[in-house]
């Protein structure tokens, strides 16, 4: 059987506010320009995609979806529709299959060809009737999938059929306790034309290479499609990720059947994620994350027009992106600044230490950056960035003032921000819980031993 072409593009697969209709339509020509093949409609909080998946779309909803299908087609981009019945589907009831087919047929009637069936983010649990009929989750899911896909094979033989399994990363597969039996059964029972999604070793994987997907490819009997959560921020909405695609090896593309990025929830901040992924897929061997990042930032800079016809400078945009880099680190310049601050704190107080000046200068630059952003003509872009930059400004000032306070011999005193009312700074439930937990610098909870607790 001839395998379809390599799948590449964007999956709107996050939790939170879905993108607007006009934003999606604006995205499609850009996907084509970047060389991507596909857009997948999969917002978890489209209530009729997941929570109320049985309910048909009404005429207004269908008209909007039809416009998306047509918009993709106009630019040579494939439209994929995802449905996620896994919260409450009753696998043993044949009527549930009919409901699923009826719902998906609404999209097929509009011209959609690619369909994804999502079983992610649910426990390994079956209702009593499904357990009696199928025994285990993989058998039940394969049955439901193949019933739907058999229907689609006749209706849209040129369409792609894709499953996102419940165990969609190595850590989940290892933790399931059955030596990857769930994935093996799924691979054995799904048709050879069905693709399966995989996020790597983790839900958000720092590195993915051919060796790391070899086991799952062998278990599934097919190369996986990478569902990449590198730039997804729906698990920590205080953060944004404006760094480049990194940690994806040159040999990964040949070891997979496709690569879809699941990006930041705010639509306005994903240019770097998309542009650097396009650069990586176009030339995995020659891809340089730092160079691709710089080019992506420069291409994005016109979006940062400010009143008066100016735009953010290259240095200002880089400062922004350095503060919102990747899940495991800030950008290189900000990491160097943090190293300076750590070294100052670990050393005896010294008012002449030149690193104090660098921390003060950084705080001033971030304050100026926030001022500049408030002048953006694209207010949606401003509001997508506002929270993270405001926090960066507040914490940069606090760090600079604390280090100056300490260097001046004020360390024994209680340091406080003079512009914050007492008992308001860094408060709220999340901050209070974080203060209770003994976290190390890597964010791990240091659980005390029995000896430590005595």
pLDDT of residue 76: 98
Say if residues 281 and 252 touch (Cβ distance below 8 Å). no
Residue 127 pLDDT = 93
Tokens 């596909």 map to which residue?
A: 38
State the pairing for strand pair 161-164/114-118.
parallel
Alpha carbon 220 to its chain's center: 24
List Cβ neighbours of 70 (8 Å cut-off, separation of 6 or more): 111
What pLDDT is attached to residue 1? 46
47, pLDDT greater than 60: yes
* Lowest-confidence region among 139-148, 211-220, 438-447: 438-447
Q: Is 415 helix (H, G, I), strand (E, B) or coil?
A: coil
Burial class (CB in 10 A: 0-12, 13-18, 19+), 24: buried
Average of per-residue pLDDT across 387-405: 94
Query: How many other β-carbons are positioned within 10 Å of the β-carbon of residue 196?
Result: 24
Among the listed ranges 108-122, 166-180, 264-278, which one has the minimum average pLDDT value? 166-180
- Residues carrying an active site annotation: 121
Quick: pLDDT tens for 413-433: 566 665 677 777 778 888 888
Which residue do the tokens 């929570």 mark?
51
Mean pLDDT of 24-36: 98
Which of 266, 207, 196 lies closest to 232, judged by CA? 266
- Pick from 43, 134, 153: which is nearest to 96 by CA? 134
pLDDT of residue 426: 79
80-135: pLDDT as tens digits: 999 999 999 999 999 999 999 999 999 999 999 999 999 999 988 999 999 999 99
Report yes or no on whether pTM surpasses 0.85.
yes
pLDDT (average), residues 188-205: 98
pLDDT at 120: 95
Distance CA 430, CA 407 (A): 31
Average pLDDT over residues 284-308: 97
Residue pointed to by tokens 């001033």: 364
DSSP state of 169: S
Question: With 80 as the cut, is the pLDDT of residue 409 above it?
Answer: no
pLDDT for the residue numbered 415: 60
Report the b/e string of 317-336 with b at 16+ CB within 10 A: bbbbbbbbbbbeebbeebee
Longest CA–CA separation in the chain, Å: 78
Give 3-state DSSP helix, strand, coil % of the chain, rounded to 5: 50, 10, 40
The proportion of the chain whose per-residue pLDDT surpasses 70, expressed as a percent, equals 95
Q: pLDDT band at 451, cuts 50/70/90?
A: low
Mean of pLDDT values over 332-356: 94
Residue 448's pLDDT band (boundaries 50, 70, 90)? low
Q: How confident is the model at residue 177 (pLDDT cuts 50, 70, 90)?
A: confident
Which residues are CB-contacts of 359 (< 8 A; sequence separation ≥ 6)? 337, 340, 341, 344, 396, 399, 400, 403
pLDDT at position 411: 52
pLDDT band at 337 (very low <50, low <70, confident <90, very high): very high
Kindly give the residue spans of alpha helices, DSSP state H, lying in 75-127.
94-110
Mean pLDDT computed over every residue of the chain:
93
More confident residue, 447 or 204: 204
Domains of the chain: 7-287 (3.20.20.80), 314-417 (1.20.58.240)
Confidence at residue 423, expressed as pLDDT on a 0 to 100 scale: 74
pLDDT (0 to 100) of residue 454: 47
Angle between helices 181-189 and 137-155 (to 10 degrees): 30
Label residue 6 by pLDDT band (50, 70, 90).
very high
Q: Are 80 and 160 in contact (CB under 8 A)?
A: yes
> Do 235 and 199 contact (CB within 8 A), yes or no?
no
């Amino acid at each position: 059987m001839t395998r379809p072409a390599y799948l590449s593009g964007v999956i709107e697969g996050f939790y939170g506010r879905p993108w607007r209709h006009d934003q999606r339509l604006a995205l499609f020509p850009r996907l084509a320009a970047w060389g991507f093949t596909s857009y997948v409609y999969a917002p978890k909080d489209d209530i009729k995609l997941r929570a109320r998946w049985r309910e048909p779309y009404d005429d207004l909803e269908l008209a909007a979806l039809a416009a998306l299908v047509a918009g993709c087609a106009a630019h040579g981009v494939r439209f994929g529709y995802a449905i996620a019945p896994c919260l409450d589907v009753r696998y043993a009831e044949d009527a549930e299959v009919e409901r699923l087919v009826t719902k998906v047929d609404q999209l097929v009637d509009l011209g959609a060809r690619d369909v994804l069936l999502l079983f992610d983010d649910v426990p390994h649990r079956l209702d009593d009737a499904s357990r009696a009929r199928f025994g285990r989750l993989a058998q039940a899911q394969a049955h439901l999938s193949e019933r739907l896909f058999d229907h689609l094979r006749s209706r849209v033989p040129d369409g792609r059929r894709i499953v996102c399994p419940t165990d969609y990363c190595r850590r989940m597969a290892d933790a399931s306790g059955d030596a990857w039996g769930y994935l093996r059964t799924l691979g054995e029972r799904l048709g050879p034309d069905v693709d399966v999604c995989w996020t790597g070793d983790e839900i958000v994987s720092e590195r993915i290479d051919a060796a790391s997907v070899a086991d799952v490819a062998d278990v599934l009997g097919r190369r996986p499609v990478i569902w990449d959560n590198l730039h997804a921020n729906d698990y920590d909405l205080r953060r944004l990720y404006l760094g480049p695609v990194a940690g994806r090896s040159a040999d990964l593309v040949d070891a997979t059947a496709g690569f879809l990025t699941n990006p930041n929830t705010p639509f306005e901040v994903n240019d770097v994620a998309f542009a650097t992924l396009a650069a990586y897929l176009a030339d995995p061997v020659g891809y340089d994350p730092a160079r691709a990042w710089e080019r992506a930032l420069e291409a994005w800079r016109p979006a940062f027009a400010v009143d008066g016809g100016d735009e953010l400078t290259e240095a200002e945009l880089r400062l922004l992106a350095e503060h919102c880099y990747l899940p495991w680190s800030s950008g290189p310049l900000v990491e160097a600044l943090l190293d300076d601050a750590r070294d100052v704190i670990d050393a005896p107080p010294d008012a002449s230490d030149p690193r104090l000046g660098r921390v003060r200068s950084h705080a001033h630059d971030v304050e100026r950056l926030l001022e500049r952003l408030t002048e953006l003509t694209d207010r949606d872009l401003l509001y997508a960035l506002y929270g993270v930059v405001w926090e960066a400004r507040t914490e940069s000032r606090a760090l600079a003032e604390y280090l100056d306070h300490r260097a001046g011999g004020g360390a024994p005193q209680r340091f406080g921000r003079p512009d914050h009312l007492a008992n308001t700074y860094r408060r709220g439930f999340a901050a209070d819980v974080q203060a209770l937990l003994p976290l190390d610098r890597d964010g791990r909870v240091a659980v005390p031993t029995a000896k430590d607790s005595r």
